[in-house]
Amino acid sequence: MKLIDLFSPIVGPAGLVTDPAALRAHNTDWRGRYHGDAELVVKPASTAEVAAVVRACHEARIGIVPQGGNTSQCGASIPRPGHGEIILNLSRMNRILETDWDNDTLTCEAGAVLADVQNMAQRGGHLFPLSIASEGSAEIGGVISTNAGGTAVLRYGNMRSLVLGLEVVLPDGRIWNGLHGLRKDNTGYDLKHWFIGAEGTLGIITTAVLRLFPLPHARATAWIAVPTPQAAVSLLGHLRSRSGERVTGFELISRMAVQLVLQHIPGSRDPLPEAAPWYVLAEMDDTDPGADPHAALSSALDQALEEGLVLDAAIAQSEGQINALWALREQISEAQRLEGISIKHDISVPVSRIPAFIEDATERLQEQFPGIRVVCFGHVGDGNLHYNLSKPNQQENTEFIGQTPAVNRVVHDTVDRLGGSISAEHGIGQLKVDELARYKDPVALELMQRIKGTLDPLGIMNPGKVFRATTG
């Protein structure tokens, strides 16, 4: 039986994508690194349809690649060529089903776009705090499946902290209903955590209950020049000692990252008159309408300037200026894409060890690969750095990219020695399967594989992602 004949009775013509141009888009990740060959994209419109599709795949032993906004950084949402897998895209399931303002929760389908969830929460006087560069296209199921972090983890946590309940279609087509908006439920294992960050390898998230917070009424944002990463870490402690949880964002950005944005993104402007080796983008907010975070941030920076932690700073004076500062940070990935291919790393270490990582990894890489260009930026408040490497000359860069395994060894060995993780928020996908096997604790890896084997014994759920596929 042809694939289209298997799924057409379930989802109908509106739920099938067969157009070659549309298929190419679904089969290619946004960075253009991974290319699949799925001949069919199935787009169910309800949990019942998802369950029926999964049952059909289970019976026919067809691999399923879950996909939302297709903003994955590690190829998790792209099928493997030559394996006959289908893409199960949940973008049609995009409804916000319920808002419970008294319980501070919002329930939505997996295909709901993150920005739409943020806007709905705001209309109800609430905040959904997850903020990432791709929030205009990333979908809730995807950000849960990758346990996305973003710029507000310092105060609100990553997606694991923001999900109260889930509905999941299991690999055999059964539906697990865990849609509870509870803060306390001590009735055994908390099953939702098996699926958060699992990258679609254990089941298909179809609906989620999300945790909301009070909407801040005032905020202050500053672009701060600092001499070193150590000064940035010390500045973070300085701000938090004075303002505590009001510090919601604290991003470290290298000068090279800023230069790429200024070069490739029209309308970008340097916030300070003189260049510095490093910058911090810091933000404070407060739910008290009478609070003045602008004054608090200004006072803290004045003291930090006297102590030598800060070289210069510009505090935004309007919402437009705030947005412009954040655009500099959020456009770094796009500027890198326009610049060309680089070897990307999404690592985390204890906050106190960030300076040691940057110094040690950069020194070792420059010794082995003279002339490399380091683009380093990330969420220093939670120890997460995006540490990306390339060479300015295109021909030299092509040769450099060919040495990715050796580069990864330097970076990931340094991370491991400092007690960190090779993946902070992007996941494993296809990109880091071998790296996970190398660095993950063997007992932890065995337990993960046992869970996978128990829930998905046929290996049809996103095969080849996180682990090497043995079946499916």
Please compute the mean of the pLDDT values over residues 97-105 and round it to a whole number: 98
**Residue 433 resides in a domain:** no
Could you give the CA distance from residue 63 to residue 459 in angstroms, rounded to a whole number?
A: 8
Q: How many CB atoms lie within 10 A of CB 432?
A: 23
Confidence bin at 1 (pLDDT 50/70/90): low
Domains in the chain, number:
4
Closest CA to 401 of 414, 387, 390, 410: 390
Q: How many CB atoms lie within 10 A of CB 13?
A: 8
Please compute the mean of the pLDDT values over residues 69-85 and round it to a whole number: 89
Question: pLDDT, tens digit, for every residue of 384-409?
Answer: 999 999 998 888 999 999 999 999 99
Distances from the Cα of 428 to the Cα of 61, 145, 186, 200, 432, angstroms: 24, 11, 30, 11, 5
| Residue 236 shares a structural domain with residue 133 | no
Question: pLDDT, tens digit, for every residue of 114-147?
Answer: 999 999 999 999 999 999 888 999 999 999 999 9
Question: The CATH number of the domain where 158 resides is what?
Answer: 3.30.465.10
Q: How many CB atoms lie within 10 A of CB 445?
A: 14
| Residue 272 shares a structural domain with residue 353 | no
Last residue of a domain, one of 69, 89, 109: 89
Query: Cβ(140)–Cβ(111) under 8 Å?
Result: yes
**Residue 457 resides in a domain:** no
Question: The CATH number of the domain where 358 resides is what?
Answer: 3.30.70.2740
Q: Where are the beta strands (DSSP E) in 213-266?
A: 213-214, 218-226, 247-254
Could you give the CA distance from residue 87 to residue 23 in angstroms, rounded to a whole number?
A: 10
- Left (φ > 0), alpha (ψ -120 to 50) or beta: where does 331 sit? alpha
Confidence bin at 470 (pLDDT 50/70/90): low
Kindly state the percentage of the chain with pLDDT values over 90. 85
| Residue 280 shares a structural domain with residue 365 | no
| Residue 162 shares a structural domain with residue 224 | no
Measure the N-to-C terminal CA separation of the chain; round to a whole number of Å: 18
Could you give the CA distance from residue 251 to residue 283 in angstroms, rounded to a whole number?
A: 9
Query: Looking at the predicted structure, is the pLDDT value of residue 231 above 90?
Result: yes
**Residue 438 resides in a domain:** no
Query: Looking at the predicted structure, is the pLDDT value of residue 471 above 60?
Result: no
Residues 6+ apart with CB under 8 A from 11: 42, 43, 44, 45, 49, 53
The values of phi and psi at residue 379, to 5°, are: -95, 80
User: 165 is in which domain, residue-wise?
Assistant: 96-214
Residues 6+ apart with CB under 8 A from 441: none
| Residue 104 shares a structural domain with residue 13 | no
Give, for 66, the enclosing helix (H) or strand (E): strand 64-67
Residue 291's pLDDT is what? Answer: 86
| Residue 85 shares a structural domain with residue 188 | no
Query: Looking at the predicted structure, is the pLDDT value of residue 472 above 70?
Result: no
Please compute the mean of the pLDDT values over residues 428-441 and round it to a whole number: 92
Query: Cβ(122)–Cβ(213) under 8 Å?
Result: no
Query: Looking at the predicted structure, is the pLDDT value of residue 466 above 90?
Result: yes
Q: How many CB atoms lie within 10 A of CB 165?
A: 19
Residue 3's pLDDT is what? Answer: 86
Residue type, 215: L
Question: pLDDT, tens digit, for every residue of 161-194?
Answer: 999 999 999 999 999 999 999 999 999 999 999 9
| Residue 168 shares a structural domain with residue 78 | no
| Residue 249 shares a structural domain with residue 202 | no
**Residue 436 resides in a domain:** no
Residue 149's pLDDT is what? Answer: 87
Question: The CATH number of the domain where 82 resides is what?
Answer: 3.30.43.10
| Residue 379 shares a structural domain with residue 327 | no
**How high is the mean pLDDT of the chain?**
94
Closest CA to 327 of 235, 261, 392, 390: 261
- The reported pTM is 0.91
Query: Cβ(256)–Cβ(320) under 8 Å?
Result: no
Residue 75's pLDDT is what? Answer: 85
Query: Looking at the predicted structure, is the pLDDT value of residue 244 above 90?
Result: no
| Residue 71 shares a structural domain with residue 144 | no
Give, for 417, the enclosing helix (H) or strand (E): helix 404-417
